[in-house]
Structure 1
Amino acid sequence: MSLIRYQSPLFDDLSMSKRDRLLIHFILMLMSVMCSVNSTIAIAEPLAITLAAEDSWPPFADEVGRGISHNIIRHAFELVDVDVSTIVVPYARGLIMTERGSVDGVFNVTREQSTIDRFVFGNEPLFTVTASFFFAKEYPSLANDKWQLPAKSSIGIVNGYEYGDEFLVLVEKLKLQVITVNSQRQLINLLLVGRIDSAIMYDLVADVYIKQMGVSNDIKAKFNNHTSEIFVAFSKLNPQSKHLSQLLDKGLLTLQKQGKYNQLLLPSNE
């Protein structure tokens, strides 16, 4: 019997079929790689977020969407490929919109116990500000610090603002009458006519309004209420909030390393 084997047409057909399968497998692998590349490109596209911006806190944020806070936030997020849009609203409304998830975040928020419970914060503040007790020249006070205020004094504040963790303790201890209004301008007017004994206002913001109203000789800060680190507060309903706060931290630190941060703190950088 001969040991020589002859190729048959069937063997050729099977070989072609195998090559076809290899070709199909290669095409599928190529398509998978292309899909992966497209997915990577999509992920690399800048994030787009919307923040609520307060409308009456110059020089940090004004009614037309300008100010120090806008500049710092925009530049910091640009460094980490995040596009920011802002909606200018009253501060209290911005807080509510963020809590409801209507926007991704709100500025300018003090990180204290009352806000930590409601929002997500990063580690790096936008800046630090001080708030003081202001008095009218016509209605002076003998107190030299907030704990010396007369019991049952009337104190004006702005709706929705944070005044430090000690404020509620102060109100309770001295039985203060807290009068809430919607703006610093209203507080100044109430001081001028003697409707309130004192008002707590953030110093740089109060300076803007006092100058605009021409009452620099009539309204003065006397002693400190608190010092606040000011942040962007992100919505707890947004699963990306922690990531966004970390990106903002990174952007802020980069601005500082580049030497641009202090320049952005100047009101002239509108």
Structure 2
Amino acid sequence: MAASTSNVEDITRLLEEHLSKLGFEIYPLKVGWYNSVLPPSLRLGHPDDRLAVLVLSTPAMFEEAFLPFVEQRGFQTLSDPVDQCVRHCVSSAVAQCFAGNEVDVSYDYELLPSRKPRFLAQTAAHVCGAAFYYQQADVREQPWAHKKMFGVCVHPRFGGWFAIRALLVFGGVTVDSEMLQPDPPDCVPSREGRIQLLEAFNLRWQDWSYRDVVPPVQIYSQRQKDYFSTPPAQRVALLRTWGFLSRGSEAVDSQTPASCPEEVC
């Protein structure tokens, strides 16, 4: 079906009603906005006029969605608890709001058989206006001689205290020309600020400082910081000390490899 601006707003509103109370944000976009900035090998396999929706998690997600999810399923074997929580929340919202419709859901941790990600999360956040994706090419007269610097998204309200979780493509929904592409807020406009941001993210990401590049309205709670600061193999034990998993539960959380700043949550 063709979607007018009001139809897009209806779809966005339904998702927000189910997900915003769990600490998620929803941003609509056209598939073409995403595909136009990428080479063919990385584009989505959907027509450019299809509606997509990006799902972000805010600092509230940990207490509002993740801990209750783990507590309710503490007797079960869990694999990647945060990923499973996000999948549960998003799939439940899709099932309740769009039963019988064609919705292709991709999660940030999923890979194609080629080992490429199913979607480039930070690129999607930039093109839909959710967060500005600051990359090495955005710095004039770079001080890094032949050194690779990974890019990072900055949210206008949460700074770096957020994560990009999922992309939904509505296969049966085409978007008309009234849907205009928003520009992501340029929160770090100066060369010096961008240098500081990329260096903090690439060289000192464990100290959390890059997340405060803009004054955030909310940051991760101390419990959430403790969880993501804990090596993945030890997170299940931490959840047990908090009383969220029984002694007999087993879980493997492979999220957030300690050596890769691109995967920081």
Specify the TM-score bucket, using the shorter chain as the normaliser: under 0.3
By percentage of residues, which structure has more strand? 1
| TM-score, normalization by structure 2 | 0.25
Considering only CA atoms, is the larger Rg found in Structure 1 or Structure 2? 1
